[in-house]
Structure 1
Amino acid sequence: MTKRKPLSTVVAESLSEKIRSGRLQPGAQLPTEAELCAEYDVSRTVVREAVARLRSEGMVIPQQGRGMFVSEAPAPRNFSIPQDALKTLPETVSLLELRLSVEVEAAGLCAERRTESEASTIRRLMEQVDARNEDPGAVPVHYDYDFHLAIAKSARNEFIHGFLEYLRPVIVPRFQLGHVVVPELKDAYYARIHSEHRKIVEAIEKQDGRAARDAMRKHLQNSLERVRALALASGVETTDAAQKAAAASLFSDLKGSAAPTG
């Protein structure tokens, strides 16, 4: 049975085809979010993910206060991650390995270059993200991606930030956290992630580049090992039920290991 494409991919491919065929000419304004929602019968989130993909490919550009416009000269797409290649846990592992190679340096540069205002914003965002403690079955594994993007933005390297923005549409909607954390370990899991986040933020506030790199490396390596363990336990093209069953046998070390959240 062929797996259906994500709705955001369907919308992005449709808009891309309109641009390539000339139905949407260079310089033309894209329909509004509301119009695209009505045309494709999808949510605003789906539309935003689709437009973000087109923007990452250089097909559309924003004009402040006006909206999105078809690029006059679309940039060649030198790097891409096809949706069809992102169906299994092994690909999620590969994406985490890619993030690890980029975000460790981003954290160090952020610590060395950030302003006081940016450090405050990063801490505030961390507290907001970590205070939610939502049902793992209702949030993506990468629920803290905005926190990571804020760090990358303050690294003052537009290519690092742009690259991680490019990854957002393909990495964030991946597997739900419920595939990785069983409900009874939810609080301990969130506490551990908050502890990892806090070490990153404290290093950034101290402008300690080495400590920030070490803390980010530890955080992403832990995420990588959790997902890698799940991939090994559940196999490649397994069902949601099989993946959840595998998750139940993992991370038993979380029991009773909740880190202080203060």
Structure 2
Amino acid sequence: MTKRKPLSTIVAESLSEKIRSGSLLPGAQLPTEAELCAEYDVSRTVVREAVARLRSEGMVVPQQGRGMFVSETPTPRNFSIPDETLRTLPETIALLELRLSVEVESAGLCAERRTDKEARDIRAMMDEIDARHPDPAAVQIHYDYDFHLAIAKAARNEFIHGFLSYLGPMIVPRFQLGYVVAPALKDSYYARIHGEHKAIVDAIERQDGGKARQAMRKHLQNSLGRVRALAKASGIEATEAEQKAAAASLFTELKKPLPTVG
């Protein structure tokens, strides 16, 4: 007698097939719990177990306050990441968490303090950066870091700008965008990033600090979610030792003199 699969496994396998077949594209939001319960005629507990399984496999990622979304990260069997790059994933995640804590306030202060010229320059920089649609395999994942630095500079806080300038050499060279975005999906990815950038810039132009903080948080949380999904899919977990080593490296850099801010 064949043992029947648990309902959560059946639901998880069905959703996995939809993702693999393209019925649910990378970046797409999963149906709500209620919708999945109705579709599969199962309880919320079954749906939660199925989604938790997909999350553990790196197929879906959460976005705070919005729900679960299909991961943009290719599965490890479809591509190769050098071991030395994989080893930097834990500290890259830690640095993104650090950026999130600093840059949300940076965006808010920029909106409240920027000059009209700075607002125009930030929009022009966004338009110039977002007009490029390079091959993801030939561009770094944080290709927009200069845009973020321009916002920090207009925040009128030399410590924020100096600190983020320090982080640049450690953050920017980490990963090629191709590790988290398939070439066929690059145009939709760039369009989505432009939408996130535009929400930040629009709030800065309106001098709406609250909306600027909100938009920057969403932008960086999405980036963090993609890198976390890559780490999960690759079987990489941050350890206390790796976090301490990354922090030691950062603090060594911070002991150097602050750069001159023009």
Which TM-score band applies after superposition, normalised by the shorter structure?
0.5 to 0.7
Q: Partner of 2:174: helix, strand, or coil?
A: coil
Correspondence for 2:155: 155
Equivalent AA in structure 1 for residue 228 of structure 2:
R
The 1-side partners of 2:188 and 2:221 are apart by: 18
The 2-side partners of 1:203 and 1:190 are apart by: 20
Q: Does 1:166 align with 2:162?
A: no
| Pairwise CA distance, 1:89 | 1.4
Contact 1:136 1:177 in 2 (8 A): yes
Structure 1 length-normalised TM: 0.57
* CA deviation map 1:157-195 (0-9, x unaligned): 000000000001110000100101010110000000000
Equivalent AA in structure 2 for residue 128 of structure 1:
E
Correspondence for 1:180: 180
* CA deviation map 1:126-152 (0-9, x unaligned): 001101111100111100000000000
Equivalent AA in structure 2 for residue 235 of structure 1:
G
* CA deviation map 1:74-100 (0-9, x unaligned): xxxxxxxxxx99942121111110000
Equivalent AA in structure 1 for residue 116 of structure 2:
E
Specify which structure has the bigger relative contact order, considering alpha-carbon pairs within 8 angstroms and separated by 6 or more residues.
Answer: 2
Show the 5 A alignment for 1:125-164. 125-164=125-164
The 2-side partners of 1:235 and 1:173 are apart by: 22
Q: Partner of 1:129: helix, strand, or coil?
A: helix
Equivalent AA in structure 2 for residue 228 of structure 1:
R
Correspondence for 1:121: 121
Show the 5 A alignment for 1:83-102. 87-102=87-102
Correspondence for 1:36: none
Q: Does 1:112 align with 2:112?
A: yes
Gaps of 5+ in 2: 1-83, 238-262
Correspondence for 2:204: 204
The 1-side partners of 2:209 and 2:86 are apart by: 33
| Pairwise CA distance, 1:236 | 2.5
**Identical amino acids, percent of aligned pairs:** 75
Equivalent AA in structure 2 for residue 171 of structure 1:
I
The 2-side partners of 1:99 and 1:217 are apart by: 10
Contact 2:85 2:174 in 1 (8 A): no
Correspondence for 1:234: 234
Contact 1:86 1:92 in 2 (8 A): no
Q: Partner of 1:141: helix, strand, or coil?
A: coil
Structure 2 length-normalised TM: 0.57
Contact 2:136 2:181 in 1 (8 A): yes
Q: 1:177 to 1:92 in 2, by over 3 A?
A: same
The 2-side partners of 1:95 and 1:111 are apart by: 24
Correspondence for 1:216: 216
* CA deviation map 1:32-62 (0-9, x unaligned): xxxxxxxxxxxxxxxxxxxxxxxxxxxxxxx
Q: Give the root-mean-square deviation of aligned CA atoms.
A: 1.6
Give 4+ residue runs of structure 1 displaced > 2 Å after superposition: 84-88
Further displaced range: 207-216 or 87-96: 87-96
Contact 1:180 1:230 in 2 (8 A): yes
Contact 2:85 2:175 in 1 (8 A): no
Q: 1:177 to 1:187 in 2, by over 3 A?
A: same
Contact 2:86 2:236 in 1 (8 A): no
The 1-side partners of 2:230 and 2:192 are apart by: 18
The 2-side partners of 1:86 and 1:136 are apart by: 18
Aligned length: 154
Q: 1:88 to 1:129 in 2, by over 3 A?
A: same
Q: Partner of 2:104: helix, strand, or coil?
A: helix
| Pairwise CA distance, 1:225 | 0.6
Equivalent AA in structure 2 for residue 157 of structure 1:
N
The 2-side partners of 1:168 and 1:215 are apart by: 21
